[in-house]
Structure 1
Amino acid sequence: MKRFIISISAIILLVFIGFIAVFYGGFYVDSGRDNHVNTFVRTENKEILIKDKDKWKPFEVRGIDMGSGIPGEWSTDYAITKETYLRWFQLIQEAGANTLRVYSVQNPSFYNAFYEYNSQHEEPLYLLQGIWVNDYIQNSRVDAYADSFAGKLLDNCLVTVDVIHGKRLIINNDADTSTGLYLHDISKWVLGYIIGNGWEDTTVAYTDEKYPDMEPYKGTYLTASKDASAFESLLAETGDRMLYYESTRYDEQRLISFSSGNATDPFDYPKEIAEYFRKCARIDAEHITATDKFISGQFVSYSASPYDQDYLSCMEYTTWNSLSDKKIDFSDCITPDGKRNTYRAYLRLLNEHHTMPVLAVEFGAATGRGEIQENQVTSRGLGYYSEKEQGKILVDCYEDIMAAGLSGGCVYSWQDEWFKHTWNTMYAVDLSRNIYWEDAQTNDQHFGLLAFDCGEKESVCYVDGDTSEWTDKDMVIQYEDGSFISVKYDASDVYLYLHKKGFDLENDTLYVPVDTTPKTGSTRMENCTAEFERPTDFVLILNGKDNTRLLVQDRYNPIHANYEEDITGEDSYIDPPARDSAVFENICMVLRDVIGQYQDAATPLRTFESGKLHYGNGNPSASDYDSRADFICNGDDVEIRIPWQLLNFSDPSRMQIHDDYYDGNYGIEAVGIKEMFIGLGREGNTIEMGRLKLKGWENTVSYHERLKEAYQVLKTYWTGKEHE
């Protein structure tokens, strides 16, 4: 018996060691049969071809990018469930998409769901599998040949190959991948790999400068040309070793691409444009060539959205051809009224430059209230679009992509992601907590076709003029004349319900003072005869559909504390406004002015009045739904939504607001509050204010999914089917 137990134990130990060696260590015996490699996808000239039975057919990539974030979870938590993925895959395919793109190895639930979904559908979804090096490594003080960069990149490539073939155990992810046991072989639906996700241009430039005379890499499957830079040689070597691994371990190949974008495109721009955009690096996939042993082929993937560095907008139309060694026809990039479609022109330049298929793997438009920049040329800026406008921009972009000769593209993105941040709002919020609330002011959170609306099944309030969701317990203060104000809030907005008998929105003016911080505020406002019971930080003025706005006391205006010198050239800290200043100002966001600042470096930052409220119906089920709606009037009743950040909340989940910018601080520090005060009145009166108790929700977020109107617009375009 003892000998039997020892034998069984030895067998179990050997099986365990073998399992770890194969699934964790990547051990395999080289078959030596790379001349028997199979592939179901290959390139031919500028086309991607997929094998359908015994025939090769052209394949147009209609893709959607999918991130890994959901409310209440960081993207690196990889918390999305298999059931959610299955539901999403169905919706994505119903929209007419045939391809998914992910940026890194997802959790096992993704691949399990992908396998199950495709196994049950005659027409599968295909996958473009991304591989990346995390931002920390890319921004470290090393060149790309450091082991922490090149070694980690290659490791990620080999791990990814094992994952899609269902033979991998990942224990430690270093923020590059998820973890878990991957057992499903989905390789027959994987079109290819995209190595990298927006290379840091300074790392590319540093590597190339450090190794100017590096001998080009010569490999079995990929080789670097004599014109290749050091970074391009590294990419060739990485791809070659990845191809060797998949060819010899799994007897398979698929497409490979090295990611790029505007910051690392292959063009040599005029000096003044390169300097203005700080264009310091180039990656040219033409410098990486395939040998006869690479039977699948390469494609080029560009992150190319109309709001990215728009070099062509700063160049005369007649000079665009100077970027190419070919004579390119840009006639369809100029409208009859003389407007330039620089997006289509740029895509055409990319396509004409390359001898292989080109994909625009990331193009999008953001909904939400925030904005980063306007595009005076294409009218496709960055933010503050309705959901219908978002859909139209996506369709317009895709039409440009195909008109430019590309092989397709991927819409960015499938779902909104609350963890994202934007340069012109990140100073105002606690970035360690932004997964617990939806910031309507941060445009990067709202690129998705799928929204996450607060509330388990429905929102606590829809700004639609129907006040049936309001109860007496929501009332903050009621006045002798019967008017009152009620307040609700959730993880995205503060909602107000105002009742004023006989109120005429276009001819009357109502004032709603809001007191949040005890440190500053005024009981009066310049050019207004109304007074406030308490020192007030914000005043909402209702004065018509097109003239209703939220104002902030100048002392508590964050744009002064953070961007005053960029806007006016003055330093607000030298002579700050008084604590009880009666000056109330528009609430604004700073914007990039690409063309203006190119033409004159001294051009101040432009601003966008974010505190101006948009009139409309904010109920998604309404026929006249307007996703940008902030307020609506129905007789004597007004419903309003105010995003938390407009009220200077840095983390509403813990009821943290901005502290006084000038009282021992230099910039934004947070302070907690447990109440705020709000009132309602007209000019010539002292407005009494009621107390609203505040309680954060900490890490518990309830939400429900909702397909945006853009989803239906894109679906109609891709499938030809109207809303069903």
Structure 2
Amino acid sequence: MKRNIKLRLSLAIIAVLIAGYFGWQLFQPLHAESEFVENAKLDNGMNVKFRTQGDQLEIYSDQQWQPFFAKGVNVGATLPGHDPGELPIDKKTFLRWFAEIKELGANVIRVYTIHDPVFYEALVEFNEENRDSPLYFIQGVWSPEAQMFKTHDALSPLATKEFKKEIIYAVGAVYGDVKITKERGKADGKYKANAGPYLLGWSVGTEWDPPLVEATDKAYEGMEPYQGDFFKAKSGATPFENMLAEMLDTLAAFESKQGWQHPYAFTNWVSTDPLEHPGEIDRAEDLVSVDPMHIEPVNWQAGYYASYHAYPYYPEFFRSDETIKNVKNDKGEIDTYKAYLRLLKEHHKGIPIVITEFGVPASLGIGHITGLGRNQGGHTEEEQGKINVDLLHEIVQENYAGAIVFMWQDEWFKRTWNTQDFEQPVDRRKYWLNVLTNEKLFGLTGMYSSKDGPLLIDGSLDDWHQLKDKKKFDPGVPGWSSMWVTHDEAYVYIAGELENEFDPEKETLHIGADTLEGGNRHSKELGDRTLSEGLETLVTIGKTLDSQVTIASNYDFTTRYWGVVNGMAPVVEEEMNDDSGIFKPWKLIVDMEFSPPAAKYYRPYKDVPAGQLKRGTTDPASTDYNSLTMWQAKGNVVEMRIPWMLLGFSDPSSLLAMDYGEKGGKLQTRKVDGIRLVPWITDRSTGQIKGLGDGGDVVDVSKLPKYKWKPWNQVQYQERLKKSYAIMQEAFRKIGGDN
């Protein structure tokens, strides 16, 4: 009875959707197949370009079915300064990107959701100009997360209705057969371009939240398997899997009206995979499974495949599970990622698996650590490319059907768990680039801040002379001739002209930053001087291990939030006093303290350094280019760029710095009027300080000028291909699948 009611409700919902969202369009003649695309015809008259065959994908080309390995990139929906729901990318940009993606050696792109009509128009136009080697795409359908979490039930009428609505719209968008009304945060407009002939397949849904899956399964325990006209759930399928079978069946019902069939999958990830992970510490990460093998096509000859997001650093079992430390890679190293790929492949016998997300970011900040250095962040662009190629190689070796790297472009709006509490307000993340937030920097195409390129960190002042918005200060301290300062969306840039050549083996350069009332007025770095105003952070330039940004101990974000507020990080009471005299290394948490029952066993708190300043050059034309370069010195010139967050800023675009107080379990912010920079030089052999008056003096720094800037609500940025692009290009071109 319960199932019959649900079926009737589903049919009623579909009927309403047909009438309300497509209207008369669904009863028009089917789209004619493209004259530029060769495809097979099924006995029922359906067009098919791609199909699954065993555990592989196939393409119809040269009047026969041929193996096809899907190699490509995920393409996001946004640009710096915008949220993804704004969909700011224009046709010209898409066309340029498609050419660069094709030149990369990719044969497919994947999009997560419905784009504006210009995306499909650009793709059709590009492919019609590249008929011999078009760029195919996988269309995603975004799941109704808001409705699912509101009801905590993925099978609620509210959630399933919204999911089906999105599916119907997606079909119309792909085939150029719908007009979508404006809705905040979503694509809209009249879709006329038929991109269906260039579709490789569908991937429905997003990464599933384990507690949501568990709640849904418990609420509908005993539910009969879904039986559709095109897809069905097998005996033993969970209620959540039944929901997915119903969504795939809905998709097939509407796509068949367009005269096409394509391979189908639902999006999945390691946290809800069907495998058991005995070494996973977090019970939530091995709580439930969503198993593609519990769903099968009934009358869908294009077939069905599995789609997984799989990274080498998350969840934790990739570094802790002894049961997967039994496989070696080509270099003879124990490789848990390769072991995982092998186990996942064994489970999905008879269907293809495409790893639809993999990769590492080229960022200063690190979010998770794992073996073989494949951490979530902390990589140069070259390291990013090499690690991505290693992962790609293993996916190919384990006989997967495709590998789609995450991702094409950097995304400034993104957040990461270990910096998100320091980026306030959250709706302004898109206006600045926090290089400590690794999620922003996965792209093969870099979206650099506006001066990253025009202003090179190379020890020369030539490019500084071209800047119109720089400010020149007289530091007023011995050893310094002048100081120039400017900024952009990611960094504060400082150039110092010294009286003598700078030798980091003999001396250390310090620049203290005063943004708020409080901070350290004395410290070992200041010798026996005391400042009239305290310093929140301290930039040190010298030998390799010395070059870093440190932070006043009672201002230290990580200790305050994860120690004082959350009780995980060690807290030394004396260090929490104002003017403690202690500058601590800037660090980011990578492991929260975790205890049973939420954890299978105890795990201590762990953090890693985040304030290191690497010496090098940011000139991409130089063989010495390093994307993580923060300083360089030549002769008497020292140049540096300091990430905003290392200087204490939670949102430089609105002049907000992190304050000293906490309230309601959150760190507080305060608007500031600039940064007072206090420079001095220390002789390494004698400890003698050049500048800041005589020993024992109270140094009045209040008269030093502050560097000030205006808030901004629009961004400028530099787009260029990262060094990882060329490395991936070489690897992609060695892989077949260019039909």
Structures share a fold, TM > 0.5? Answer: yes
How many angstroms apart in 1 are the aligned matches of 2:300 and 2:634?
67
Any gaps of 5 or more consecutive residues in structure 2?
1-17, 31-41, 682-687, 694-698
Q: 1:67 aligned to 2:81?
A: no
Change (3 A) 1:600 1:189: closer
**Offset at residue 595 of structure 1 (A):** 12
Q: 1:373 — aligned with what?
A: 368
Q: 1:590 — aligned with what?
A: 589
Q: 1:252 aligned to 2:260?
A: yes
Q: 1:298 aligned to 2:299?
A: no
**Offset at residue 227 of structure 1 (A):** 1.5
Q: 1:158 aligned to 2:158?
A: no
Change (3 A) 1:348 1:571: closer
How many angstroms apart in 2 are the aligned matches of 1:76 and 1:310?
31
Q: 2:88 — aligned with what?
A: 79
Q: 1:450 aligned to 2:445?
A: yes
Q: Deviations over 1:489-540 (max 9, x none)?
A: 11110011122213211121222111111x2123211364144453222222
Q: 1:428 — aligned with what?
A: 422
How many angstroms apart in 2 are the aligned matches of 1:333 and 1:478?
55
Q: 1:285 aligned to 2:296?
A: no
Change (3 A) 1:138 1:573: farther
**Offset at residue 198 of structure 1 (A):** 0.7
Task: Look up the equivalent residue of 1:259 and give its one-letter code.
Answer: T
Task: Look up the equivalent residue of 1:258 and give its one-letter code.
Answer: F
Q: 1:148 aligned to 2:154?
A: no
Describe the SS at the equivalent of 1:374: coil
Q: 1:3 — aligned with what?
A: none
Q: 1:706 aligned to 2:720?
A: yes
2:617 touches 2:626 (CA, 8 Å); kept in 1?
Answer: yes
1:428 touches 1:648 (CA, 8 Å); kept in 2?
Answer: no
Q: Write the mapping of 1:461-480 to structure 2, written as runs, cut at 5 A.
A: 461-471=455-465, 474-479=471-476
Aligned residues: 682
Q: 2:533 — aligned with what?
A: 534
1:485 touches 1:679 (CA, 8 Å); kept in 2?
Answer: no
**Offset at residue 141 of structure 1 (A):** 3.1
Change (3 A) 1:305 1:21: same
Task: Look up the equivalent residue of 2:443 and give its one-letter code.
Answer: G
Q: 2:502 — aligned with what?
A: 503
**Offset at residue 310 of structure 1 (A):** 4.6
Q: Deviations over 1:444-472 (max 9, x none)?
A: 0000001112228x645221112112249
Q: 1:636 — aligned with what?
A: 636
Task: Look up the equivalent residue of 2:268 and give its one-letter code.
Answer: S
How many angstroms apart in 2 are the aligned matches of 1:374 and 1:385?
12
Q: 2:492 — aligned with what?
A: 494
Q: 2:147 — aligned with what?
A: 137
Describe the SS at the equivalent of 1:535: coil
Between 637-646 and 144-153, report the one with greater CA deviation.
Answer: 144-153
**Offset at residue 31 of structure 1 (A):** 8.4
1:22 touches 1:28 (CA, 8 Å); kept in 2?
Answer: no
**Offset at residue 192 of structure 1 (A):** 0.9
Change (3 A) 1:332 1:515: closer
Between 690-699 and 273-282, report the one with greater CA deviation.
Answer: 273-282
How many angstroms apart in 2 are the aligned matches of 1:461 and 1:174?
38
Q: 1:606 aligned to 2:612?
A: no
Change (3 A) 1:221 1:606: same
Q: Write the mapping of 1:239-388 to structure 2, written as runs, cut at 5 A.
A: 239-247=248-256, 249-270=257-278, 273=280, 276=283, 278-291=285-298, 293-311=299-317, 313-317=319-323, 332-333=328-329, 336=332, 339-354=333-348, 355-375=350-370, 377-388=371-382
Task: Look up the equivalent residue of 1:309 and give its one-letter code.
Answer: P
1:505 touches 1:633 (CA, 8 Å); kept in 2?
Answer: no
Describe the SS at the equivalent of 1:194: strand
Between 304-313 and 687-696, report the one with greater CA deviation.
Answer: 687-696
Change (3 A) 1:570 1:120: closer
2:155 touches 2:243 (CA, 8 Å); kept in 1?
Answer: yes
**Offset at residue 63 of structure 1 (A):** 1.3
1:513 touches 1:679 (CA, 8 Å); kept in 2?
Answer: yes
1:211 touches 1:230 (CA, 8 Å); kept in 2?
Answer: yes
Q: 1:485 — aligned with what?
A: 483
Between 57-66 and 532-541, report the one with greater CA deviation.
Answer: 532-541
Describe the SS at the equivalent of 1:366: coil
How many angstroms apart in 2 are the aligned matches of 1:460 and 1:252?
49
Change (3 A) 1:210 1:387: same
**Offset at residue 157 of structure 1 (A):** 1.1
Between 56-65 and 629-638, report the one with greater CA deviation.
Answer: 629-638
How many angstroms apart in 2 are the aligned matches of 1:567 and 1:257?
40
Q: 2:6 — aligned with what?
A: none
Describe the SS at the equivalent of 2:362: coil
How many angstroms apart in 2 are the aligned matches of 1:200 and 1:666?
25
Change (3 A) 1:638 1:214: same
Q: 1:672 — aligned with what?
A: 671
Task: Look up the equivalent residue of 1:583 and give its one-letter code.
Answer: I
2:537 touches 2:550 (CA, 8 Å); kept in 1?
Answer: yes
Q: 1:98 — aligned with what?
A: 107
CA RMSD of aligned residues (A): 2.8
Q: Deviations over 1:584-613 (max 9, x none)?
A: 211111112899999994443211111121
Q: Deviations over 1:523-573 (max 9, x none)?
A: 211364144453222222222133212121112111122011599757869
Describe the SS at the equivalent of 1:717: helix
2:492 touches 2:641 (CA, 8 Å); kept in 1?
Answer: yes
1:533 touches 1:686 (CA, 8 Å); kept in 2?
Answer: no
1:513 touches 1:540 (CA, 8 Å); kept in 2?
Answer: yes
Q: 1:126 — aligned with what?
A: 136
Q: 1:190 aligned to 2:184?
A: no
2:312 touches 2:318 (CA, 8 Å); kept in 1?
Answer: no
1:439 maps to which of 431, 434, 437: 434
